[in-house]
């Protein structure tokens, strides 16, 4: 049940890094929506590997193949399923992972959970590659939201602690055979006030639940976030005021420390949140680990393809997860 999200729409992601295909089913899309396929592909391309020198050289065009849910390019009300065939798979690269879990990876925890039957090739179902179907679903939903004037934009805030020239940190890590993490900031504009719910089903709960589906995410904060814990109420409270006149008169807040959400419900101000992304655990440097078979310590040098930093490629993934979570709440009544 792990790979399913949503109440009003339901996203169901499947596939392993090296299975025949990966894909997603989206159940609950409105009938009659025409998908802009070029725009979707452009969105997918932002996540795709091999697009620049900062990402892994695996050159696999992530072109969704739609199995169902469409008549032409229009949704027909039936569940939409799209897949991406896996073509460039080299399972032999991953043989030693069966015995020696990579530090920072899911190898060990998956091994315990699935009792050794897990698919270790390329990270299996835990691979970052599975964010491709997330982006198919999220990319379509972003288009639906955009029709209502709702936009979602994720940007790099810092990489390796460097907010001025983030990419320098990537270059440095790459040269050392190391990797580096970063922080992404995402902004949602155009959401009306009144979306979301109290308690367990608020905007923050749901965006958090969806965003933690992206491998490597280790934290999320809304508005001023952790800094709110360092502020006085008189500093943190966002005062209300009326903006505009007549029909256009709307309630706004002078500051947006709350990040667009109060009590789980949107205020009409932009939603702002930040996501912490850990450094890619795959590094070329030798690391200490264990051997299950020998029941003793073992060293490990991770071979195979890997990014020195996944933050740039994670941007559309954060947008996708956010879009899915918000759209599910918008469909609420």
HEC profile of 141-155: HHHHHHHCCCEEEEE
State which of positions 259-278 bind a copy of itself (CB under 8 A): 259, 261-268, 274, 276-278
State which of positions 195-214 bind a copy of itself (CB under 8 A): 195-202, 204-206, 208-210, 212-213
Which position has the token pair 């740039």? 312
Q: Residues 150-173, buried b or exposed e (16+ Cβ, 10 A)?
A: bbbebebbbbbebeeebbebbeeb
Encoded one letter per residue, x for contact with a copy of itself by CB under 8 A and - for no contact, window 23-52 reads x-x-xx-xxx--------------------
One residue of 43, 129, 282, 322 binding a copy of itself per CB under 8 A: 282
One residue of 122, 124, 138, 139 binding a copy of itself per CB under 8 A: 124
HEC profile of 116-141: CCCCCHHHHHHCHHHHHHHHHHHHHH
| Binding range to a copy of itself, per CB under 8 A, among 36-44, 55-63, 109-117, 136-144 | 109-117
DSSP 18: T
**Binding of residue 222 to a copy of itself (CB under 8 A):** yes
Beta bridge partners of 205: none
Helix (H) or strand (E) holding 68: strand 65-68
Neighbours of 290 (CB within 10 A): 16
One residue of 38, 52, 92, 117 binding a copy of itself per CB under 8 A: 117
Give min distance, CB of 41 to a copy of itself, in A: 18
One residue of 79, 190, 270, 304 binding a copy of itself per CB under 8 A: 79
| Binding range to a copy of itself, per CB under 8 A, among 48-56, 137-145, 147-155, 249-257 | 249-257
* Coil, helix or strand at residue 99: coil
One residue of 40, 44, 48, 110 binding a copy of itself per CB under 8 A: 110
One residue of 37, 42, 168, 285 binding a copy of itself per CB under 8 A: 285
One residue of 64, 122, 138, 182 binding a copy of itself per CB under 8 A: 182
For residue 312, with 0-12 CB atoms within 10 Å meaning exposed, 13-18 middle and 19 or more buried, which class applies? buried
**Binding of residue 250 to a copy of itself (CB under 8 A):** no
Are 54 and 307 in contact, with CB atoms under 8 Å apart? yes
Binding residues for a copy of itself, total number by CB under 8 A: 155
What is the maximal distance between C-alpha atoms in the chain?
Answer: 76
């Amino acid at each position: 049940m792990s790979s399913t999200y949503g109440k009003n729409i339901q996203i169901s992601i499947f596939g392993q890094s090296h299975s025949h295909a990966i894909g997603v089913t989206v159940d609950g899309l409105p009938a009659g929506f025409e998908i802009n396929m070029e725009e979707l592909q452009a969105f997918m391309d932002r996540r795709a590997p091999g697009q620049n020198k900062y990402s892994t050289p695996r050159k696999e065009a992530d072109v969704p193949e739609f199995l169902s849910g469409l008549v032409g390019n229009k949704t027909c009300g039936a569940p939409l399923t799209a897949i991406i065939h896996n073509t460039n798979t080299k399972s032999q690269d991953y043989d030693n992972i069966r015995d020696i879990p990579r530090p920072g990876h899911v190898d060990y925890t998956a091994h315990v959970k699935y009792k050794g039957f897990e698919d270790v090739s390329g990270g299996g179902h835990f691979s970052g590659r599975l964010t491709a179907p997330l982006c198919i679903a999220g990319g379509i939903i972003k288009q639906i939201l955009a029709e209502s004037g709702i936009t979602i934009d994720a940007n790099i805030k810092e990489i390796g602690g460097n907010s001025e020239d983030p990419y320098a940190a990537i270059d440095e890590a790459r040269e050392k055979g190391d990797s580096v993490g970063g922080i992404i900031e995402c902004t949602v504009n155009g959401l009306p006030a009144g979306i979301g719910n109290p308690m367990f089903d608020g905007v923050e709960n749901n965006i958090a639940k969806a965003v933690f589906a992206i491998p490597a995410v280790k934290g999320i904060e809304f508005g001023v976030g952790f800094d709110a814990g360092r502020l006085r109420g008189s500093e943190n409270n966002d005062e209300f005021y009326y903006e505009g006149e007549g029909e256009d008169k709307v309630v706004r807040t002078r500051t947006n420390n709350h990040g667009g959400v109060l009590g789980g419900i949107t205020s009409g101000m932009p939603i702002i949140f930040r996501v912490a992304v850990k450094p890619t655990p795959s590094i070329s440097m030798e690391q200490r680990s264990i051997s299950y078979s020998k029941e003793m310590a073992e060293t490990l040098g991770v071979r195979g393809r890997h990014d020195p930093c996944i933050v740039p490629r994670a941007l559309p993934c954060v947008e996708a997860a956010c879009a899915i979570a918000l759209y599910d709440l918008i469909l609420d009544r």
